[in-house]
Amino acid sequence: MGMENGPSDPLKPPVPTLMAVARMAGVSPITVSRVVRRPDIVSSGTRLRVEDAIRKLGYVPNMVAGSLASARTKSVGVLVPTIANSIFADTVQGLSDVLEPLGFSVILAQSGYDHQREERMLAALLSRRPEAIIMVGAPVTAEGAEMLRRARIPVVETWELPAAPVDAAVGFDNHDAGVVVGRHFAKAGRRRLAFVGGDDRRATQRWHGFVEAAREAGLTEPRRVLIEWQSGAGAGAALLATAPDADAVFAANDAYAIGLLSALRRAGRLDVEPGTVPPIAVVGLGDLEMGRLFSPTVSTIRIDGAAIGRAAAELALDPTKPRRVDLGFELVLRESG
Amino acid sequence: MGMENGPSDPLKPPVPTLMAVARMAGVSPITVSRVVRRPDIVSSGTRLRVEDAIRKLGYVPNMVAGSLASARTKSVGVLVPTIANSIFADTVQGLSDVLEPLGFSVILAQSGYDHQREERMLAALLSRRPEAIIMVGAPVTAEGAEMLRRARIPVVETWELPAAPVDAAVGFDNHDAGVVVGRHFAKAGRRRLAFVGGDDRRATQRWHGFVEAAREAGLTEPRRVLIEWQSGAGAGAALLATAPDADAVFAANDAYAIGLLSALRRAGRLDVEPGTVPPIAVVGLGDLEMGRLFSPTVSTIRIDGAAIGRAAAELALDPTKPRRVDLGFELVLRESG
DNA sequence: TGCGGAAATGATAGCGCTATCATTCTCGGC
DNA sequence: GCCGAGAATGATAGCGCTATCATTTCCGCA
């Protein structure tokens, strides 16, 4: 039993403990602990001696033991669907930018949009006793929600604003975003709308808003094109196969939008005489920088993912802050529609 | 003292411990521990009773305590320069894909390409006693390297192959990549080369290779354009300001390359009569999907970031594996040069 | 010179769990 | 029915640190 004690290689010294430092400096263990955590309350003489011993031994405090003793892990669990080429990377960045300077570590888990895996990952996170959980979306399973409630720590859901969050939420109204894009298409005279994206709850909320706006404008029911693999090219192919006659598409993110536009251009569906309206409009979501560089420049629902992350971190650390923050979104119209 | 004991809210029950489960099930604590970790060695009768108690109480094992007792944290520290819109997100994804199914958690830290911060983050990671450290690049400071060595855990450096890694490395030869791109430009008849990117060690290695190839071909010294903010548009502006006469550019990543191409197109520097060579060639690095969708399609040094992550995870978990894995790269030529 | 209060340091106990060894139980073979 | 070996369970003793309270030291001021 016992962490890191006794040299794994008999030739090399063991990883030093606080006790070793104390012995070397000729003080009690608790004084070493104080030098590490509250140097201001230790006299400069002993502090110097202890710091010396720490340096000589290369002592690195064992936060596992510290956490157990103090009931503070200085860590935050973060659960995202995926981190690779995704709009959530900005949110994680934003989180870290707030958390790391305060000495908090980020324990990152990915659910891959899989319900069972989300539940497992939540359990895994909670077993490490983070001081808060920040996740994209609300927990999908009732089990998951219950676990979070029982953990008695701040829980911040992001990228959506559930009616009854476990604890707190930072995001925007996905349903509204769908409505705004749908209305925009209707006003622009588009008739055959399509929606390209996943089937997670946030996408579905946007879809519902989108449908609502289409109905309201007297349009036929929009087509919903489901994307399996997270790929822009895949989105393009799927749209052309499933809804080839659409004249306006709302894509779940800018990567899909760009993939779509690229496929449409290759298919000659973007050719347009100067001064006329392009035959198909595309609006993305996220305001990726690439969208501004692409040609046509990509219209999008702008969302500040980093700001969501920063706000979430603040709610996570301060339970007295308002538990619901709507950061809104903005329809940014560019060349693509 | 003591984690999570005593109800923070006197009305609500405290977070249950293994001891509470044991009492409820009428067994000893150690038996509960076994049900959680090695259910196969517990008779099905007691197992059922214990599992029942676990469910009733909503017990979530405290891994902090478990880690301290067993000297195994089941966690891996991961240090990247940045995770937002970066080629490293794929590597983190690849890592997680291997690690999470094995029950390992990822503790993520970002250095922001800052030497001091890298050192602080390494110390913070090590204090959590991860079973391995995986980082992008080699530690920049000698202090950092020393800390890692003393930690006596596997350390995997990625995205480069240092001559003397602390422990292991998975990546490719950045110098070579520079040489390959430089030679390619020279062979294509380009004369005024430029290099756009940061000044971290990996970028600098590529730069050296690039310069070497230029010299070897008898070209004038390439220009080096330093990018501060991670933005494609910024890269475009910087190039046009610093090296407006370049006829071939090696960009540190595909996002820069696309920003560059976009700026060049806007400046009319990409206009080309059919059948002739474009006046300026651009090669990126990373093979972003977007590069294939952009027009012109982006030539690039293809690197499989996810594969680097997966390989790194395997080296991290198995110290007997070879300590140096060259995953190589590939020059992919498309329209941009 | 001595006193009181603050500053500095220490002794004790325990966080929640697991490694290790000991003990008890079970059961088939003789 | 008894023995021995394996299966199942338990008692004990920490892991490395910090909360809490106790004690000692220091120093300014009466």
Paired with B197 in beta bridges are B226
When pLDDT is averaged across residues B92-109 and rounded to a whole number, the result is 97
Please determine, for residue B181, whether its predicted confidence score (pLDDT) is greater than 80.
yes
Please determine, for residue A3, whether its predicted confidence score (pLDDT) is greater than 70.
no
CATH classification of the domain holding A84: 3.40.50.2300
Q: Considering the domain boundaries, does residue A335 fall inside one?
A: no
- Give percent of chain B with pLDDT exceeding 70: 95
Q: pLDDT value at position B305?
A: 95
- Segment A256-303, tens digit of pLDDT: 999 999 988 888 887 766 667 788 999 999 999 899 999 899 999 999
Domain match, B235 and B120 both: no
B92 — contact with chain A (CB < 8 Å)? yes
Domain match, B152 and B121 both: yes
Residues 1-20 of A with CB under 7 A from strand D: 1-5, 17-19
Q: pLDDT value at position B81?
A: 95
Q: Are B137 and B158 in contact (CB under 8 A)?
A: yes
Q: Are A121 and A109 in contact (CB under 8 A)?
A: yes
In angstroms, what is the C-alpha Rg of chain A? 26
Is the peptide bond prior to A14 cis by the omega test (within 30 degrees of 0)? no
Q: pLDDT value at position B8?
A: 45
Q: pLDDT value at position B4?
A: 44
Distance CA B51, CA B35 (A): 8
Q: Considering the domain boundaries, does residue A332 fall inside one?
A: no
Whether residue A63 and residue B128 make contact (CB cut-off 8 A), yes or no, is yes
Cβ neighbour number for residue B94 with a 10 Å cutoff: 22
The shortest CB-CB distance from A293 to any of B78, B96, B232 is to B232
Tell me the nearest-neighbour CA distance from B205 into chain A, angstroms.
26
Residue B139 DSSP label:
-
Please determine, for residue A233, whether its predicted confidence score (pLDDT) is greater than 90.
no
Q: Please give the residue range of the domain that contains residue B149.
A: 73-172+306-327
Q: pLDDT value at position B229?
A: 72
Residues 30-49 of A with CB under 7 A from strand D: 30, 33, 36-37
Which of residues A55 and A243 earns the better pLDDT score?
A: A55
Domain match, A181 and A61 both: no
Tell me the pLDDT of chain B averaged across its residues: 91
Of the candidates B289, B284, B239, B290, the residue with the CA atom closest to the CA atom of residue B265: B239
Domain match, B296 and B310 both: no
CATH classification of the domain holding B58: 1.10.260.40
Strand order in the sheet with A324-326: A324-326, A168-171, A155-158, A132-136, A75-80, A105-110, B105-110, B75-80, B132-136, B155-158, B168-171, B324-326
Domain match, A109 and A201 both: no
Please determine, for residue A90, whether its predicted confidence score (pLDDT) is greater than 60.
yes
Q: pLDDT value at position A275?
A: 65
B334 — contact with chain A (CB < 8 Å)? no
Please determine, for residue A11, whether its predicted confidence score (pLDDT) is greater than 60.
no
Distance CA A301, CA A181 (A): 8
Which residue has tokens 């990018």? B227
Which of residues B57 and B273 earns the better pLDDT score?
A: B57
Domain match, B295 and B312 both: no
When pLDDT is averaged across residues B316-333 and rounded to a whole number, the result is 96
When pLDDT is averaged across residues A300-329 and rounded to a whole number, the result is 96
Domain match, A280 and A203 both: yes
Please determine, for residue A242, whether its predicted confidence score (pLDDT) is greater than 90.
no
Which residue has tokens 């690197």? B303
Domain match, A295 and A208 both: yes
Q: pLDDT value at position A5?
A: 40
Non-local CB neighbours of A308 within 8 Å, separated by 6+ positions: A91, A94, A158, A159, A170, A171, A327
Region of B58 please: left (phi>0), alpha (psi -120 to 50) or beta. left
Q: Considering the domain boundaries, does residue B332 fall inside one?
A: no
For an interface test with B, the pick among A75, A99, A108, A334 (most B C-beta atoms closer than 10 Å) comes out as A108
Distance CA B48, CA B40 (A): 12
Domain match, B196 and B265 both: yes
In chain B, whose CA is at the least distance from the CA of A263? B293
Distance CA A192, CA A186 (A): 9
Per DSSP, the residues of A65-111 read HHHHHHT---EEEEEES--TTSTHHHHHHHHHHHHGGGT-EEEEEE-
Please determine, for residue A140, whether its predicted confidence score (pLDDT) is greater than 80.
yes
Domain match, B181 and B90 both: no
Q: pLDDT value at position A102?
A: 96
Q: Are B75 and B107 in contact (CB under 8 A)?
A: yes
Q: Are A175 and A164 in contact (CB under 8 A)?
A: no
Q: Considering the domain boundaries, does residue A43 fall inside one?
A: yes
Element (H, E) at A55: helix A44-57
Sorting pLDDT into bands at 50, 70 and 90, what band is A213?
very high
Domain match, A275 and A198 both: yes
Q: Considering the domain boundaries, does residue A135 fall inside one?
A: yes
Domain match, B36 and B91 both: no
Separation in Å, CA B250 to CA A107, A156, A320, B257, B329? 36, 42, 50, 8, 15
Separation in Å, CA A257 to CA A315, A334, B40, B139, B142? 32, 13, 50, 39, 45
- Segment B259-306, tens digit of pLDDT: 999 988 888 887 776 667 788 999 999 999 899 999 899 999 999 999
Side-chain-side CA neighbours of residue B308 (13 Å): 30
Q: Considering the domain boundaries, does residue B288 fall inside one?
A: yes
Q: pLDDT value at position A29?
A: 95
Sorting pLDDT into bands at 50, 70 and 90, what band is A331?
very high
- Segment B220-233, tens digit of pLDDT: 999 999 987 767 77
Report the range of poorest mean pLDDT among A200-209, A237-246, B188-197.
A237-246
Tell me the pLDDT of chain A averaged across its residues: 91
B38 — contact with chain A (CB < 8 Å)? no
Q: Are B109 and B325 in contact (CB under 8 A)?
A: no
- Segment B229-255, tens digit of pLDDT: 767 777 777 777 787 889 999 999 999
Q: Considering the domain boundaries, does residue A152 fall inside one?
A: yes
Say how many domains are in chain B: 3
Q: Considering the domain boundaries, does residue B229 fall inside one?
A: yes
When pLDDT is averaged across residues B103-131 and rounded to a whole number, the result is 97
Render the burial of A206-238: b for 16+ CB within 10 Å, e for the rest: bbebbbebbeeeebeebbbbebeebbbbbbbeb
